[in-house]
Amino acid sequence: MNKALASDIDGTLIFNGHYKENDVDAIREYQKAGYLFGLCTGRPIKGTKNILPEDIQPDFYIATSGAVILDKQGHVLYENIIPFDDVQQVYNEYHQYTIVIQTDNLLYKTAYEEYDEDDIIIHSLDEIRDKKIYGISLIFDNDEQASVICQNINQNFEVLEGFQNKNSIDIVKRGCSKGNGVQRIKELLHIDDIAGIGDSYNDIPMLKTVNYSFTFKTSPLALQQQVSYVVDNIAEAISILMK
């Protein structure tokens, strides 16, 4: 039977830029046993690379909340691009906040936030008019503000959908989600059973879609109430899956 585990990245696999050694050891054993391990994240493609030791190669990547899916070699299996006019509408309405535009291989940010040296600051969307835009992220001061604006986006933008990730929102083309991404990878790679683990609100579509779902004892109660297992870490989830 072909089995897999899809893992969120931030707050699940990576904490303040670092992974837990026992989680990584468990992932190695899981893959050695013949099972598939992949990433399911709101991060762009760029943000999924080189976050684990070289000997661990994810078997699939579900990036930008399901808007783009890659195989182990990095080939695009699925993509759903946001029309430029809709990107412009979001930009016009929320330009006072930090906006991150996710393309195929780069991050473009407004000048309102400190940024990594590899990211590109833009002052007009005309600078990226010819790019494939998979997602938009808005960053706020607190969770409550993000929740209110996420609801506004989902009510007022016909072709876009927002997913709250604590104090930020990940926006993709409507119909994209971590849950739909998991379903697509299950079909594309002919996976019989797929498990998922995540820590935040934007993981709920994934956790509702998988055969076995995990979250942490430190996760919001809304997540804990919807999963198969509440665990301390990825290593514990893998130990359950390998019984």
What is d(CA 185, CA 111) in angstroms, rounded to the nearest whole number? 35
> pLDDT band for position 219 (50/70/90)?
very high
Q: What is the fold of 84-173?
A: 3.30.1240
> pLDDT band for position 170 (50/70/90)?
very high
Under DSSP, is residue 141 helix (H, G, I), strand (E, B) or coil?
Answer: coil
What residues contact residue 38 under an 8 Å CB cut-off, 6+ apart? 4, 5, 6, 7, 58, 59, 60, 61, 62, 185
What integer pLDDT is reported at residue 184 of this predicted model? 97
Residue carrying the six token digits 């927002």: 162
Dihedral sign of CA atoms 196, 61, 118, 141 in order: negative
Angle (CA) 209-74-103 rounded to 5° is: 80
Q: What is the pLDDT of residues 184-202, one digit of tens each?
A: 999 999 999 999 999 999 9
Q: What is the fold of 3-79+177-241?
A: Rossmann fold (3.40.50)
The pLDDT > 70 percentage for the chain reads: 94
Q: What is the pLDDT of residues 73-114, one digit of tens each?
A: 999 999 999 999 999 999 999 988 888 888 876 676 765 555
What's the chain's average pLDDT?
92
Give φ, ψ of 173 to 5 degrees.
Answer: -65, 140
Mean pLDDT over 123-145 rounds to 90
The pLDDT > 90 percentage for the chain reads: 78
Q: What is the pLDDT of residues 19-77, one digit of tens each?
A: 999 999 999 999 999 999 999 999 988 889 899 999 999 999 999 999 999 999 999 99
What is d(CA 56, CA 33) in angstroms, rounded to the nearest whole number? 13
Residue carrying the six token digits 């119909």: 175
Mean pLDDT over 145-167 rounds to 94
Is pLDDT of 115 > 60? no
What integer pLDDT is reported at residue 160 of this predicted model? 97
Q: What is the pTM of this model?
A: 0.90
Are 109 and 100 a contacting pair, CB within 8 Å? Answer: yes
What residues contact residue 140 under an 8 Å CB cut-off, 6+ apart? 97, 146, 149, 167, 168, 169
What integer pLDDT is reported at residue 31 of this predicted model? 97
Which of the pair, 149 or 99, is modelled with greater confidence? 149
Give φ, ψ of 53 to 5 degrees.
Answer: -55, 155
**Fold: same for 3-79+177-241 and 84-173:** no
Domain ranges of the chain: 3-79+177-241, 84-173
What is d(CA 224, CA 132) in angstroms, rounded to the nearest whole number? 36
